[in-house]
Amino acid sequence: MNRVINRVTITDVSILDRLIALLYSVVSFPVWVCYAIQNYSLCGRVLSRYEYCCGFDYRFCETSRLARLLAVVKGDLHLIGYSPKIAYSSDNQYVGAFSARDIHENLGIKPIEYHHLNDDVELKIYWWKKCIYPLLYAYSLLFKVVDKPINQRIKWFGIEVFNGHQNVALKIIQQLIIAIPKKHPSLIGYVNADCLNKLKDSHHYRENLSKFNLVLPDGVGLKWALKLKGILPGDNINGTDFSPKILELAAQKNWSVFFLGGEREISKKALTRFKNIYPKLNIAGSHHGFFDNDQLVIDYINKSKAQILFVGFGTPIQEQWVVDNYKYLSVNIVICVGGMFDFYAGKVRRAPLLIRQVGFEWLYRLYQEPKRLWNRYVVGNANFIFWNVSHALDIRMFCLNFLSRTIDVVISLIALMIWAPFHTILYCLLFITERKNPIFKQVRVGKNGQRFTMYKYTTMDNNIILDEEEFKRYVSDGIRYKNKSDPRITKFGFWLRKFSVDEIPQFLNVLKGEMKLVGPRPALEKEVEKYTQVHKLRLLIKPGMTGLWQISGRSELSCNKQFELDLHYVVTRNIMLDLLILIKTVPAVLSARGAM
């Protein structure tokens, strides 16, 4: 909801802010032009202007942060600071177009609470930070996903790794702690790129992790690997940032905790730090990680009656110790936290927030200890990238996707350029006759269930509401609504549909990479909810503007027959088949056979 009450005028926007914003605006001018054309086509104006309590917010299509540069140039916003959407009047000196919070969210890192930032990076802004923040934001967009993934388990070498929201992972841990007393404690662990390298090469390590109840993803490397698999990545749940949330929850619920790990002095310093940060935390005890007698330590832990045990020996030693001894522990849950104690004790400094934001904390750690970490981060990361890319990129599929994307972009650009003058005429006619936005936008389901906005010319009068009985009469095979004589179709829209002219704006979806020229038609969300497991196979690839069933009868075919042809295409698709479908689509459209 727009914040328009008690607006506070932004003052004293520095000349440096305005010059940097102007520079980025000039450099990105071609992108501005593309956004401006798209925005004008969709909503009839170039920029949308929103007024909040702290300054103005300018946007393209209500999504682009690029337009906020204009607000900086005009002096309505600082370059860097809190988002105007969530700022309050007391924050007017620190409201900006870009913020650390934006970068955090795009990278899937849960930001620290808005008014409790550990780092004053948003308030003490140096000139070099002002220069690079827009670039960091653009970099973070590479990792941004429009739709959050469902909470799921992804298999890596037989080990199920959680992929989803951080708050859901915290709820799972809470349920494991308060669950009915079990014979053995639940085990929680983390895996990062280095751990996956070990998983690939070590059968013993895989066996140990297979006994864990919950394995959490640690690091941007896993997000990158998931993107290669075509899976929407969830939050980055690293142990050093996520474990404090568990400690906060333990303090609220009065659960007792025990810390095991680190050198003798490190263990003492970390314990002191925990007591200072969480004064209400019920600390049952602690013990350093250098001991010879496991049984004495286990007895000490059990006598403390702790409910949560944090173990920090480093991977894979900690996992081995936990698997060897968890049957003898009386705690509710065991959490492996790696080097968390070293960080809290101050032995190892964490990277500055700016470096953590872009996922390069490993580079900072390498800078601190180059000799010890060279093999892990340089050799290990190169190995991680190589086997992930080689696994994800089947040569045949890579060539197919590359050639297919090239064809999509070239044909779409040519089609849009040829259609541009006709679009202007048609746009005006539709606006005059329909008295509303000629471009119709609808949420559809694409590859792997990802939602996107599909564009079409408006062909229906949404003010007409169908009776439920009439709607059910034209539902094909219980899934798709099909009615050639739909009373909502306008007279002008009938001809647009007859020759598929209403589909032309979808070339924009093709250019954006949300659709292909050839593929299954994008389904509505309510249709996907009715899909069987077999039907969901058509979501393995991007949807298309045309496909096998469009050249085989279009809407004259039953819904099941359409699904059958779509699944056949998913299995057998190749470049020659795509070209053949594109060629046959032309006479199918001109003949208007099966059009609806």
**Structure confidence by residue, pLDDT tens digits, 260-319:** 988 888 888 888 888 888 888 899 988 988 888 899 999 999 999 999 999 988 888 899
> Rounded mean pLDDT of 466-477?
58
Three-state secondary structure call for residue 198: helix
pTM higher than the cut 0.75 = no
Tokens representing 382 are 């190169």
Q: Which residue has the higher pLDDT, 486 or 532?
A: 532
pLDDT at 593 over 70: no
pLDDT in tens, 368-387: 888 888 888 888 888 887 77
Name the pLDDT band for 118 (thresholds 50, 70, 90): very low
- Weakest mean pLDDT among 92-106, 205-219, 320-334: 92-106
- Residue 337: DSSP 8-state: -
Q: Which residues contact 444 (CB under 8 A, 6 or more apart)?
A: 451, 452, 453, 454, 522, 523, 524, 525, 543
Host H or E run for residue 257: strand 256-261
Strands (E) in 52-197, as ranges, are: 56-59, 78-80, 96-98, 152-156, 159-163, 186-191
> Rounded mean pLDDT of 572-592?
82
> Rounded mean pLDDT of 97-105?
76
pLDDT at 256 over 90: yes
CA 313, 317, 318, 321 dihedral sign is negative
pLDDT of residue 435: 66
Q: Which residue has the higher pLDDT, 148 or 366?
A: 366
> Rounded mean pLDDT of 123-151?
69
> Rounded mean pLDDT of 218-236?
77
pLDDT of residue 62: 62
Tokens representing 306 are 């702790």
As a whole number of angstroms, the distance between CA 508 and CA 456 comes to: 10
Share of the chain above pLDDT 70, in %: 81
- The residue written with tokens 């890596």 in the block is 156
Tokens representing 552 are 């085989």
**What is the overall mean pLDDT for the chain?**
79
**Alpha helices, DSSP H only, in 210-285?**
220-228, 239-253, 264-277
Highest mean pLDDT among 79-83, 111-115, 276-280, 463-467: 276-280
> Rounded mean pLDDT of 346-375?
78
As a whole number of angstroms, the distance between CA 215 and CA 211 comes to: 10
C-alpha distances (whole Å) from 436 to each of 39, 167, 321, 439, 520 are 15, 42, 67, 9, 30
Closest by CA to 218, choosing from 162, 268, 276, is 162
pLDDT of residue 298: 93
The CA-based dihedral angle spanning residues 524, 528, 529, 530, taken in that order and rounded to the nearest 10 degrees: 110
pLDDT of residue 321: 93
Residues 158 and 210 sit within 8 Å (Cβ to Cβ): yes
pLDDT of residue 465: 64
As a whole number of angstroms, the distance between CA 450 and CA 441 comes to: 16
Angle at 589 between CA 587 and CA 593, to 5 degrees: 95
As a whole number of angstroms, the distance between CA 84 and CA 67 comes to: 14
DSSP annotation string for 428-451? HHHHHHH-S-SEEEEEEE-GGG-E
- Weakest mean pLDDT among 183-187, 294-298, 555-559: 555-559
pLDDT at 114 over 60: no
- The residue written with tokens 């050093």 in the block is 240
Classify residue 453 as exposed, middle or buried by CB count within 10 Å of its CB (0-12, 13-18, 19+). Answer: middle
> Rounded mean pLDDT of 215-219?
86
